[in-house]
């Protein structure tokens, strides 16, 4: 009988592994943080999110072993403001890193602005508790002194400075990015290591592979100390390129080839963490910077059952796939708790035991209770910014649209007075306006918007 009880006790030990109750893990080393950020990946582009033909076994396994979010949001529907929000934990309007009247929507190679030097990024905030940080991949937050990753706390940088369709070479038509076989040297995008150009134009067919090799190497080199790895993939933003090993292997065509290589890349990172004995002490978040670029046709992704795509504040423009993984700490499951990239900054600092910098307004919150204890989060509004304007707001299960845009498709913006209202729990495709039936919900959302806008102080325009 005693032997049987001992066997049962041993079998139940994993169920009693506690979530993080402080900054320290079992080996007394603050947890590592890895954020894998894809570009234009849609809500419906992974197997675990329902895609019928794109094969993503590594991400599907990550989802099976971790926490898969059904209601996770990027903080903007396009590249630059989304990345600024992720790294600062603040809506991009606060740093001036979003479209203002008369400015562009994102940074371009000739843009004079960038992420202001006074902004505190996650990398710079993690310096105090002794983290080493690396940025690998696409930056798109400025190329000038003061706005580069090395100016914002990153110790190691291996990057392309902006989107892969910028710096288009003379004579190449803009439509070339739609081709299933775009010219590899058609865009004069540079690849830099720690501020020095090492290749221009970069061979984009090798980018995902080289980013992955750099990420694994960084993990191995820094396994004895806490680290933050920001792996920001260039793909699947058009033009689409895959390495020889993946080109022509997906039923979904070149877009599928690219996503399947991103899946392989994620598998390599997770396997490196497991091989080095770091998996249980590393929080890994996989997500996307915005929804799919639907007007790229077959070269763009899918938002699944969601309405709209990149550039819009419909759900398909900002609700993105997201998976959190930390074996033994995050219990496998699926959550419909709303969360966003704004939450990554305060969550990572909480794990590191570092308080949020004072005298700064943050828009995210620490979601550790959800990740490690499966606790519901307090209800809070989420604001769908398109440029400097709030186009919509979610509160609980409800979403009100004040303005609706097209999604790069030429449709004019439309102002709604009264706002249109959807119950996202019952109607995630945003088909049935129920504003007339729930005036009290609209009143609560309007009150949340008024409070938010009354306290908003926009930063100096950077775009």
Kindly state the tokens that stand for 154: 């990153």
Give the Å distances, CA to CA, from 333 to 80, 324, 342, 371. 31, 10, 22, 10
- At 406, is the pLDDT very low, low, confident or very high (cuts 50, 70, 90)? low
The pLDDT of residue 375 = 97
CATH class of 382-455: alpha beta
What rounded mean pLDDT belongs to the chain? 93
Query: Are 188 and 200 a contacting pair, CB within 8 Å?
Result: yes
The pLDDT of residue 112 = 96
**Residue 24 in this model has a pLDDT that exceeds 70:** no
Average pLDDT over residues 10-35: 58
**Residue 317 in this model has a pLDDT that exceeds 70:** yes
Q: Flag the least confident range among 9-18, 248-257, 298-307.
A: 9-18
Element of type H or E holding 282: strand 282-288
pLDDT in tens, 98-144: 999 999 999 999 999 999 999 999 999 999 999 999 999 999 999 99
CATH fold label, 29-377: Alkaline Phosphatase, subunit A (3.40.720)
Query: Are 410 and 295 a contacting pair, CB within 8 Å?
Result: no
Choose among 363, 365, 445: nearest CA to 399: 445
Average pLDDT over residues 344-371: 97
pTM for this predicted structure = 0.94
Residue 79 known to be catalytic: yes
User: How many helices, marked H, and strands, marked E, lie in the chain?
Assistant: 10, 16
What is 113-134 written as a DSSP string? Answer: --S-TTSPPHHHHTTTTT-EEE
- Between CA 196 and CA 190 the distance in angstroms is 10
- Between CA 439 and CA 418 the distance in angstroms is 10
3-state per-residue secondary structure call for 14-71: HHHCCCCCCCCCCCCCCCEEEEEEECCCCCCCCHHHCCCCCCCHHHHHHHHHCEEECC
- At 209, is the pLDDT very low, low, confident or very high (cuts 50, 70, 90)? very high
Residue with the two structure tokens 């074996």: 327
Q: Which of 51, 58, 79, 388 is catalytic?
A: 79
Share above pLDDT 70 across residues of the chain, in percent, rounded to a whole number: 94
Share above pLDDT 90 across residues of the chain, in percent, rounded to a whole number: 89
Query: Which of the pair, 18 or 289, is modelled with greater confidence?
Result: 289
Query: What radius of gyration do the chain's Cα atoms show?
Result: 22
pLDDT in tens, 365-388: 999 999 999 999 999 999 999 999
Average pLDDT over residues 74-101: 97
**How many CA atoms within 13 Å lie on the side-chain side of 243?**
13
Residue 393 known to be catalytic: no
- Between CA 445 and CA 97 the distance in angstroms is 25
Average pLDDT over residues 44-61: 98
Q: Give residue limits of the domains in the chain.
A: 29-377, 382-455
Q: Which of 51, 58, 135, 140 is catalytic?
A: 140
The pLDDT of residue 315 = 98
- At 311, is the pLDDT very low, low, confident or very high (cuts 50, 70, 90)? very high
The pLDDT of residue 407 = 62
Non-local (6+) Cβ contacts of 406 within 8 A are 311, 312, 412, 413
Phi, psi of 19 (to 5 degrees): -70, 170
- At 27, is the pLDDT very low, low, confident or very high (cuts 50, 70, 90)? low
**Residue 450 in this model has a pLDDT that exceeds 80:** yes
**Residue 15 in this model has a pLDDT that exceeds 60:** no
């Amino acid at each position: 009988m005693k032997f049987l009880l001992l066997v049962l006790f041993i079998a139940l030990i994993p169920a009693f592994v506690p979530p993080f109750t402080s900054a320290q893990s079992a080996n007394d080393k603050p947890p590592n943080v890895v954020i894998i950020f894809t570009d234009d990946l849609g809500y419906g582009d992974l197997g675990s999110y329902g895609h019928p033909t794109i094969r993503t076994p590594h991400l599907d396994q990550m989802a099976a072993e971790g926490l898969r979010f059904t209601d996770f949001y990027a903080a903007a529907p396009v590249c630059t403001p989304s990345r600024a929000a992720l790294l600062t934990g603040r809506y991009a309007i606060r740093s001036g890193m979003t479209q203002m009247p008369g400015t562009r929507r994102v940074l371009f190679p000739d843009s004079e602005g960038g992420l202001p030097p006074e902004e505190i990024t996650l990398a710079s905030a993690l310096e105090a508790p002794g983290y080493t940080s690396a940025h690998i991949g696409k930056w798109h937050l400025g190329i000038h002194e003061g706005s580069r990753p090395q100016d914002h706390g990153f110790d190691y940088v291996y990057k392309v400075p902006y989107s892969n369709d910028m710096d288009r070479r003379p004579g190449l038509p803009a439509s070339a990015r739609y081709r299933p076989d775009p010219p590899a040297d058609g865009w004069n995008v540079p690849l830099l290591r720690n501020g020095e150009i090492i290749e221009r134009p970069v061979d984009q067919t090798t980018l995902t592979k080289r980013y992955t090799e750099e990420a694994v190497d960084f993990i191995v080199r820094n396994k004895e100390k806490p680290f933050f790895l920001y792996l920001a993939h260039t793909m699947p933003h058009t033009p689409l390129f895959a390495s020889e090993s993946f080109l022509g292997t997906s039923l979904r065509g070149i877009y599928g080839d690219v996503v399947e290589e991103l899946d392989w890349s994620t598998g390599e990172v997770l396997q490196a963490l497991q091989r080095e004995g770091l998996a249980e002490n590393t929080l890994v978040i996989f997500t996307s910077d915005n929804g799919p670029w639907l007007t790229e046709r077959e070269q763009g992704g899918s938002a699944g059952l969601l309405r709209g795509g990149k550039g819009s504040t419909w759900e398909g423009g900002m609700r993105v796939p997201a998976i959190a993984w930390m074996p033994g700490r995050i219990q496998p499951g699926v959550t419909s708790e709303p969360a966003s990239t704004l939450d990554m900054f305060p969550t990572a600092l909480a794990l590191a035991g570092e308080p949020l910098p004072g005298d700064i307004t943050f828009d995210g919150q620490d979601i550790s209770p959800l990740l490690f204890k499966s606790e519901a989060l307090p209800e809070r509004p989420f604001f769908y910014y398109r440029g400097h304007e709030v186009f919509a707001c979610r509160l609980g299960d409800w979403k009100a649209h004040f303005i609706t845009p097209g999604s790069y498709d030429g449709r004019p913006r439309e102002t709604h007075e009264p706002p249109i209202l959807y119950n996202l729990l019952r109607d995630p495709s945003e088909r049935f306006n129920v504003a007339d039936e729930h005036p009290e919900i609209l009143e609560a959302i309007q009150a949340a918007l008024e409070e938010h806008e009354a306290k908003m102080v926009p930063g100096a325009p950077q775009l």
